[in-house]
Structure 1
Amino acid sequence: MKNLALPLLSLLAAPLAFAQSGKVLIPVTSFDSKEEFDKYWGPLYPWGSDHNGSARMRDSQVRLENGTVTITAQRVNGEPQATHGGKKLDIRYLSGAIHALEHYAVQAGGGIDYIADLKVKAMAPEIDMAEWKGTGKISFNTFNTSSQVSALDVAYPDPDEFHSFKCETRDINGRDVSVKFYMDDNVVAEQVGRDYVGKTMYL
C-alpha cells in the first residue's frame, strides 16, 4: 500500500473572525500543539468516520507538527463497506478529517456567530470551500438541497505547493447568504446559499 499525495494535504492555521467585530474564533495558534489543537478541533467528521465517498476517515491519518496539520490518504483493500442513502459503498482509501468543535451561523445583517451547545440539523447547509475528488481539479460548491447544487470545478495548479483558500459568507437580504470563494487571494467563484441566514453549520 502506498501513501498518496492528495493526499498529503497540509493545512496551515488561519484565524476565523467575526466580519464586523474582528473577534477571533479559532486562533492562528490552534495548530501549535496538541493541547491547543484539542481546544478547537475534533477528529473525523462531526458525525463519524464515513460520508458519501470511497474514503474512510481515521485519526491516525492526521499528523500535527510545526504548526501544520498534514492529512494523508492511503489506498486500502478489505475495509468493511460504508452505507449512505441506502446504498453500500466500497472503501478504497483511509484518510483523515478534522472539524471545529463549535458551530457557526451567518446572522442577519452580517458576520459569523459561534454557537455553543447548539445542535446542527441533519440537513445542515453545506458549502465546500475546497473539495478534491482525485480528478486533478478542485471543486467549490454550495448546496441548496441535495439535488440543487452550485458547483465549479477548476484546475488545481502545482499540487506539491502550498495554496491559500478563503470563503467569505455574508447576509444578502436577511434570508440568503452570498458565498465568495478565493484561491491564492483570487476570487474564483461567487454563489448563493438559499435560506442560509441563521442556520447552524459545521466547520
Structure 2
Amino acid sequence: MYGSATDHNHIHLSGNVLTPQATRSNWDEGTSTADPHLPIRYHSGAVHAKHQVRVTDEFPNYEVKGEFQAPGSPGTWPAFWLTGANSRPPESDILEYKGDNRNWFNTFRTSSDVSSTIVSVSSPGSRHEYRTRITKVSDTDVEIHYYLDGTWKAAHRANFVGKPLRVVCDLQMEGSSGSSGPGGGTYYRARNIYIGRSRA
C-alpha cells in the first residue's frame, strides 16, 4: 500500500471525500511475505491517523465513526479499523468487506481469540455510517459496541485498556477477499471520519 504527501496516485482528497484507490500492476511485484505468500498484483492506498486511541482512567470512552462507500466485489478488501500501535493484536474492525456484501465486525484479543459479528449489507457501494463506541468496564477490559447506520449490531469485550491503537482506513486487494480481483481501478470513499473521547 502506497501514499505520501507527494504521491497521490492511490490516495485522493477532494470535496471532503477521502478516496483510497487500488490499481492492478502489469509487472511482477513478487509475492507477499505473509502466508500463503500470494502474488502481489496491486498498488493501493492506506491512511493512518496521526493520533491514537488509548482507553485509560482519564479517557474511558471513545467513539470512532465515518461514512463509507465500500467496494464489495470479489478480490476487494476495504477496511476501517483499529490496530495495536505496538503489536497486533489488539484489533477492532469497524468496517471490513472480504469480496462480497458482508461486513465483518471483528475484535481480536489474540490471533486465536476472536469475536466476529457478520452483517449482510444490501449495497456496500452506497454510503453507510460505520461506528464503534469503546467503553472501559474494568481495570483491563473494554466493551466495544458496533453500529451500522445508527443501528446497534454487536458488543464484544476485550482487554484493551491502556493499549494504544492506530486508526486505519485502507483498501487491500485479494488475500482474504479471494482472487482474481478486478482488472481496472477500484475506489473506496470515506467522509466525515470522527474520533472522539470523553473524560471520566
Equivalent residue, structure 2, for 1:80? 30
Q: C-alpha displacement at 1:79, in angstroms?
A: 2.2
8 Å contact from structure 2 (residues 101, 123) kept in 1: no
Counterpart-to-counterpart distance in 1, 2:99 and 2:93: 15
Matched residue, 1:23 = none
Deviation at 1:89, TM superposition (A): 2.8
Provide Cα deviations, 1:160-190, integer angstroms capped at 9, x if missing partner.
3111111100001121110001110111111
**Structure 2 counterpart SS, 1:197:** coil
- The 1:125/1:135 distance shift into structure 2, 3 A limit, reads same
Q: CA RMSD in A?
A: 2.0
TM norm structure 1: 0.62
Per-residue CA deviation, residues 18-56 of structure 1 (Å, 9 max, x unaligned), is xxxxxxxxxxxxxxxxxxxxxxxxxxxxxxxxxxxxxxx
The change in CA–CA distance for 1:165 and 1:143 in structure 2 (over 3 A counts) is same
Q: Which one of 105, 113, 126 corresponds to residue 148 of structure 1?
A: 113
Residues 109-130 of structure 1, C-alpha deviation per residue, up to 9 Å, x if partnerless? 7234xxxxxx932235110111
Does the alignment pair 1:67 with 2:32?
A: no
Of 46, 58, 66, the residue aligned with 2:2 is 58
The whole-number CA distance in structure 2 between the counterparts of 1:76 and 1:188 is: 37
The 1:157–1:73 alpha-carbon spacing in structure 2 relative to 1, beyond 3 Å, is farther
Q: Deviations over 1:45-69 (max 9, x none)?
A: xxxxxxxxxxxx1222211000010
Deviations 1:57-91 (A, max 9, x none): 12222110000101223334532212026x52322
- Kindly provide the amino acid, as one letter, of the partner of residue 140 in structure 2: R
Asked whether the equivalents of residues 167 and 181 of structure 1 are also in contact (C-alpha less than 8 Å), the reply is yes
**Which structure would you say has the larger RCO, counting Cα contacts within 8 Å and 6 or more residues apart?**
2
Percent same amino acid among aligned pairs? 32
TM-score of the superposed pair, with normalisation by structure 2: 0.63
Are the counterparts in 2 of residues 138 and 153 from structure 1 also a CA contact under 8 Å? yes
Mapped partners of 2:147, 2:25: distance in 1: 33
CA distance, structure 2, for counterparts of residue 73 and residue 137 of structure 1: 20
Structure with greater helix share of residues: 1
Match of 1:162 in 2: 127
Unpaired segments ≥5 residues, structure 1: 1-56, 113-118
User: Which range is displaced more, 101-110 or 161-170?
Assistant: 101-110
How many residues were matched structurally? 139
Q: Secondary structure at the match of 2:127?
A: coil
Match of 2:90 in 1: 125
Give the direction of change, closer, same or farther, for the CA distance of 1:93–1:133 in structure 2 (3 Å limit). Answer: farther
Local SS of the residue matching 1:134: coil
Match of 2:45 in 1: 96
Conserved 8 A contact 2:130-2:149: yes
Q: In structure 2, what residue type is equivalent to 1:154?
A: V
How many Å separate the matches in 2 of 1:180 and 1:168?
A: 5
- The CA distance in 1 between the partners of 2:140 and 2:22, in whole Å, is 38
